Structure 1
Amino acid sequence: MRFDTLRLDHIGIRVTDLAIAEAFYAKFGFLRDPDEFAPEAKACGLVHPAGLRIHLIYNGVPDREGNVLLDAPIKRPGFTHAAFIVESMDELVDWLAREGVEITEGPVMMGHGRRNVCFIRDPDMNVLEFNEILAG
């Protein structure tokens, strides 16, 4: 028997400070969904005009060592990043520079039909990837 998944609902991102994280993601168009704010669970849902959803789980403990899944010498299993498609990588790169958001890798061409990768990190060192899908 097969089970059909319809689509991805949201991505949960653990953060240390809700206000800082919410302000960061608001720069990308994610705004609080009042129906998905659960202080008892330390979770805050954000929604993007394109319909994308993320949940900020604000019970993280600051770690000066970086991202435990990516920066530690021992690579443990777990989600390493969220990836988003943008219309123009050039416009994204220019916008990130104006916003003072550091690009940690890329952009580079990769694969067929993708201009990949442009990686950044949020204030808690969570990794975000951006891709431009190229025509032809």
Structure 2
Amino acid sequence: MIYRMDHVGVVVEDLAAAVAFFVELGLELEGEAAVEGEWVDQLVGLNGVRADIAFVRTPDGHGRVELSTFHTPVATSPAPREPVNTPGIPRLTFVVDAVDAVLDRLRAHGAELVGEVAQYGDTYRYCYVRGPAGVIIGLVEELS
């Protein structure tokens, strides 16, 4: 039995830029830390890990995203930039107050619209953007 989902983790190349992106989206910085040592090596299955992490949380306090950047060992390939229908490609979706306004703010942080802003009846407006390290972020505006 599980109790709750604790967080989602995303590895990024530029931790400061990723934190700025998610703070602009409306998440709050919870804390930052440097991690290394045997316990981290055991956890991630790599040797000699040295990484920096930051946690950001949704304003309601129920959702958290761990952002991490690895200094060692060096990654062997870049982040995937696959289409949204590729199996295994994660999407993080957030309910926002106004899709267009949030999209405009995130573009200043490098966000790229994946398709178009679409409207589903009178229920919601929805779009996907690529954020830090190409992660796909859904933005949903509830209309009713």
Paired residues for 1:89-108 under 5 Å = 89-96=99-106, 101-108=111-118
The 1:111–1:10 alpha-carbon spacing in structure 2 relative to 1, beyond 3 Å, is: farther
Q: In structure 2, how many angstroms separate the alpha carbons of the residues matched to 1:81 and 1:54?
A: 12
2:135 to 112, 118, 126: 126
Q: C-alpha deviations, 1:78-101, integer Å up to 9, x for none?
A: 252101111222332443456663
Question: Counting strand residues as a fraction of each chain, which structure ranks higher?
Answer: 2
Q: In structure 2, how many angstroms separate the alpha carbons of the residues matched to 1:100 and 1:16?
A: 13
Native 8 Å contact 1:32 1:47 kept in 2: yes
Aligned residue-pair number: 125
Q: Give 1:24's aligned residue.
A: 21
Q: CA deviation at 1:47?
A: 2.2
Q: CA deviation at 1:15?
A: 1.0
Native 8 Å contact 2:21 2:109 kept in 1: no
What's the TM-score, normalizing by structure 1?
0.68
1:86 and 2:100 are equivalent in the alignment: no
What's the TM-score, normalizing by structure 2?
0.65
Native 8 Å contact 1:114 1:133 kept in 2: yes
Structure 2, unmatched stretches of 5+, are 41-50
Give aligned-pair identity as a percent: 28
Bigger relative contact order, structure 1 or 2, given CA contacts below 8 A and separation 6+?
2
